Structure 1
Amino acid sequence: MDAVAAKLLGAGFAAMGLGMAAIGVGLIFGLFLLGALRNPAAADSQRPNLLFGFAVTEALGIFAFLIALILLFVV
């Protein structure tokens, strides 16, 4: 395998992190909604945890995107 093919393959694998981040965000909000509908009184106390989980998950997706761009465009 030559270097260009390895670089493109690595960028593709790094870009898969974006899809995993999207799945993670969907799970976070879906499970929060499920818990909030079961116990509406506790929903307000869990909102900071929701936002923190969302921020961390999105940050990991952005880092994966950054790694993919670095692999593609940095010589």
Structure 2
Amino acid sequence: MLLAVLLQAAAAAGSLGKVAAAIGAGLVAIGAGLGIGKIGGAAMEAIARQPEASGDIRMNMIIIAALVEGVALFAVLICFLAL
């Protein structure tokens, strides 16, 4: 009897882990989108304030956005591996 209860709990925990991994992947995608949007908005505001520094600001924006996207991709892959 106890073994049946333990097996049911293990099966339920497995499906709960899949749901948690899917939610985690979604949250990572939303967080990365918000972060890159904030980076772009701040860069456009900085370029509007100092147009002569637009090249440096744009280069830094692209580097930071690439780093955020790389971290997001890594986090999504970890969530999918948890499935």
The TM-score, its normalising length taken from structure 1, stands at: 0.81
Structure of greater Rg = 2
Q: Which residue, 24, 36, 47 being the options, matches 2:47?
A: 36
Aligned counterparts of 2:75 and 2:61: Cα–Cα separation in 1: 21
The residue number in structure 2 matching 1:63 is 74
Gaps of 5+ in 2: 1-11
Structure 2 counterpart of 1:19: 30
Equivalent pairs: percent with the same residue?
A: 28
Runs of 4 or more consecutive aligned structure 1 residues displaced over 3 Å after TM superposition: none
Larger relative CO (CA 8 A, sep 6+): 1 or 2?
1
Q: Cα distance, 1:31 vs. partner?
A: 0.5
| Superposition TM-score, scaled by structure 2 size | 0.74
Which one-letter code corresponds to 2:59 in the other structure? P
Size of the alignment, in residue pairs? 72
**What is the Cα-based RMSD across aligned positions, in Å?**
1.6
Q: Secondary structure at the match of 1:2?
A: helix
